[in-house]
Amino acid sequence: MKHVHPEFSFQSRELEGQIEGTLGDPPNRKNYDMMVGALVSEYAGGSGLDDINLMAFALVDKIRFLDAKGLMREAADYEGGDPARVFAMAECNGEDGKAMYESMTANYPDLARQAIITAFLYKNQGRWDDEDRSLDQLGRDDDGDDDMDDSAATDDFTQLFDPEGGDRE
């Protein structure tokens, strides 16, 4: 399992929640298809919100990934990376999908990069896992060998309260 940047794992979970919420319970594919169609149309027309999850939502059913290993490498860096390199690792099907992809990548290159990787992670959840950044996990490897004991008072501090004046002369 490969770790991805925590923000990408968060965005992927958010996308999953958005898709499940749109589908509803029981799933209503008609509402879902209408939502995706509206998003694709907006982005293909050159507009649409500059929102990673909405972009990824629009991409999910239209996108095809050409370089899974490359996208996994790109998922390690949320802010950086070369958008053009990511754009070459995927493509969209259909006339409206191609128009949307071209418009997104031209108008919102950094967000489109993140949305493509988010969509990839959502569709390939078995390839990666969340990095555990809980306090328990962070403290698990701490063997208590800090340079200074937090409970020990320093000489400078204890001399402030020395009634004899210590070595002040």
What residue ranges do the domains of the chain occupy?
A: 2-129
Give the pTM.
0.74
Q: How far apart are CA 91 and CA 66, in angstroms?
A: 7
102-106, 125-129, 143-147: lowest mean pLDDT where? Answer: 143-147
Element (H, E) at 64: strand 63-65
Mean pLDDT estimate for the chain: 83
Question: Where does the pLDDT of residue 110 fall: very low under 50, low under 70, confident under 90, or very high at 90 and above?
Answer: very high
pLDDT tens for 64-78 read 999 999 999 999 899
- For 128-140, what is the HEC assignment? EECCCCCHHHHHH
